[in-house]
Amino acid sequence: MNRPPALPRWRKSSYSNGTGGECVEVADLESAVGVRDSKRLDRTFIAVRPAAWAEFVASLRRA
């Protein structure tokens, strides 16, 4: 029996605040990382390879 795919569990950036600042949400997808603007949930998201996302996050930590 085929089950529908689970909905992604989106999580906000730790830099998000409740005052309407710039907010990014990410979700672990089956074979990618989804990235979207949390203020525009009606829009689509981008999907990047997990290795590329890991390198991006690592580069931010080094900055």
> Domain residues of the chain, as ranges?
23-62
pLDDT tens, 29-50? 989 999 998 888 788 899 999 9
Q: Would you call 12 helix, strand, or coil by DSSP? A: strand
Instruction: Tell me how long the chain is.
Output: 63
Percent of the chain with pLDDT over 70: 79
pTM: 0.74
Average pLDDT value for residue range 55-61: 92
Report d(CA 60, CA 20) in Å as an integer. Answer: 22
- Long-range CB contacts (within 8 A, 24+) of 4-8: 5/30, 8/34
The C-alpha angle 9, 10, 16, rounded to 5 degrees, equals: 150
Q: Which helix (H) or strand (E) holds 11?
A: strand 11-12
